Structures are given as C-alpha cells and as structure tokens.
Amino acid sequence: MALPTDLLYTEEHEWIRREGDDVVTVGITEHAQEQLGSIVYVELPDDDSEVAKSDSLGQIESTKSVSDLYAPVSGQVIEVNAALEENPELINSAPYEDGWIVKLRLESSEELDELLSPQEYKDHVADA
C-alpha cells in the first residue's frame, strides 16, 4: 500500500493534508475505500458548520455498507467537494486527489500532533 508522505492519518482511516496555517483538506484513505467497495453516495456537511474532533462529518454509502465519516480535528467547514454529489466514485478512483471530501479551518493546530504519520498508519493497517 503506497501512502502519500505529505499527509497525516487517523486510526479511522481518514487522511489530512495541511493547506496552510489553519486549513486542512480531509478525505478517506485508499485502504478505507477498498474496504468499502464501490461508493455510490456521499452525505456532505453544510458549509460553515462547526465540528468537534470525532464528530460525524457525514456518511459514505457503498455497495457494501454505510459508514460515518469522522472529523479528525475540530474546526469550521469552509468547503465541501461538491463534485462528489454527482460523482461519488471519485473517492474510489482518486482518494488522495479529486476524491477529497471537505476542507476545514482548524480550531487548534495542536490537534494535528495527535494524528498518525504515514509509517504509523501503515503499521496500524498491517496490525488490523
């Protein structure tokens, strides 16, 4: 499993890309989308909504199941990937590029220190 090295990860299989001092992009990992199977629907949060770390950001529905998407950090939703409404399969085809889900303005960058490095996430998946 090849993992982008510029990302941070959660044990719940979300990835986080820091876009600036206080903005992050969030998606699900390649491992997660493989486990879910073909994604057919994504419920996105409302723009400007506030989320706390571990809150549900929405749901991802696949041919196998429905799964919650959790906020890896606390913050404000500043953008959702509207392309997923028409093409949820972007998460399957490009989970780290076009398949991103939401952009958040961080409440506290200190929460990033609690996330997994690429190697820690790789070890976590291998242990599962």
Question: How many domains does the chain divide into?
Answer: 1
Residue 62 lies in a domain: yes
AA letter at 63: T
* Residues 60 and 42: beta-carbon distance below 8 Å: yes
Distances in Å between the alpha carbon of 63 and those of 34, 53, 84, 89? 12, 28, 16, 11
* Residues 76 and 55: beta-carbon distance below 8 Å: no
Residue 99 lies in a domain: yes
Instruction: Assign 1 a pLDDT band (cuts: 50, 70, 90).
Output: low
Residue 114 lies in a domain: yes
Instruction: Indicate the pTM of the whole model.
Output: 0.94
Residue 47 lies in a domain: yes
Residue 1 lies in a domain: no
> What are the φ and ψ backbone dihedral angles of 69, each rounded to 5 degrees?
-105, 125
- We report the CATH number of the domain holding residue 109 as 2.40.50.100
Residue 2 lies in a domain: no
- Full residue range of the structural domain in which residue 91 is found: 8-127
Residue 43 lies in a domain: yes
Two tokens at 115? 């996330």
Q: 10 Å Cβ neighbour count for 117?
A: 13
pLDDT tens per residue across span 20-48: 889 999 999 999 999 999 999 999 999 89
